[in-house]
Amino acid sequence: MTVIPLLKKEYVTKLGEEGKRVDGRAFDEFRQITIETNCVNKAEGSALVKIGNTQVIVGIKMDLGEPFPDTPDCGVLSTAAELIPLASPDFEAGPPQRDAIELARVVDRGVRESEVVDIHKLVITPGEKVWIVFIDIHILDYDGNLFDAASLGALAALLTTKMPILRMMESGALVKKDLEAWYNRTHIEEIREIYSHPDIDEIVAKKKKGTVKNIRLPMTEPPISCTAVKISNFVFFDPSLDEDELADARLTVATDANGDIRAMQKGLAGSFSKEEIQNVIQGALENGRKIREQLFTKIGK
Q: Which residues lie below 8 Å from residue 89, measured CB to CB, with a gap of 6+?
A: none
Q: What is the DSSP string of 87-123?
A: S-TT--SSS--HHHHHHHHHHHHHHHTTT-B-GGGGE
Closest CA to 124 of 177, 70, 60: 177
Output phi, psi for 138, to 5 deg.
-115, 115
- Given candidates 5, 11, 17, 53, which one binds other proteins under the rule CB under 8 A? 53
Rounded to the nearest whole angstrom, what is the least distance from the CB of residue 136 to other proteins in the complex? 4
Rounded to the nearest whole angstrom, what is the least distance from the CB of residue 206 to other proteins in the complex? 9
Exposure class string for 261-280: b at 16+ Cβ within 10 A, else e: ebbbbebeebebeeebbebb
Subset of residues 123 to 182 that bind other proteins, contact rule: CB under 8 A = 134, 136, 138, 140-143, 167
Closest CA to 79 of 13, 155, 159, 171: 155
Binding-site size, other proteins (CB under 8 A):
33
For residue 87, state whether it binds other proteins (rule: CB under 8 A): yes
Rounded to the nearest whole angstrom, what is the least distance from the CB of residue 241 to other proteins in the complex? 8
Rounded to the nearest whole angstrom, what is the least distance from the CB of residue 115 to other proteins in the complex? 23
CA distance 141 to 128: 40
| Residue span 90-119 as binding mask against other proteins, x where in contact by CB under 8 A, dash where not | ---x-x------------------------
Exposure class string for 121-136: b at 16+ Cβ within 10 A, else e: bbbbbeeebbbbbbbb
Helix (H) or strand (E) holding 249: strand 249-255
For residue 88, state whether it binds other proteins (rule: CB under 8 A): yes
- Given candidates 12, 28, 33, 46, which one binds other proteins under the rule CB under 8 A? 46
3-state DSSP assignment of residue 12: helix
For residue 80, state whether it binds other proteins (rule: CB under 8 A): yes
Rounded to the nearest whole angstrom, what is the least distance from the CB of residue 214 to other proteins in the complex? 17
Closest CA to 265 of 142, 129, 146: 146
CB closer to other proteins, 33 vs 281: 33
Subset of residues 254 to 293 that bind other proteins, contact rule: CB under 8 A = none
Contact region with other proteins (CB under 8 A), list: 35-43, 256-264, 265-273, 277-285? 35-43
Rounded to the nearest whole angstrom, what is the least distance from the CB of residue 139 to other proteins in the complex? 10
CA distance 73 to 120: 6
How far, CA to CA in Å, does 252 sit from each of 37, 88, 233, 263? 24, 22, 17, 8
For residue 207, state whether it binds other proteins (rule: CB under 8 A): yes
Contact region with other proteins (CB under 8 A), list: 14-22, 69-77, 79-87, 185-193? 79-87
CB closer to other proteins, 48 vs 228: 48
Subset of residues 58 to 77 that bind other proteins, contact rule: CB under 8 A = 59-61, 63
Q: Which residues bind other proteins (CB under 8 A)?
A: 39-44, 46, 53, 55, 57, 59-61, 63, 80, 82, 84-89, 93, 95, 134, 136, 138, 140-143, 167, 207
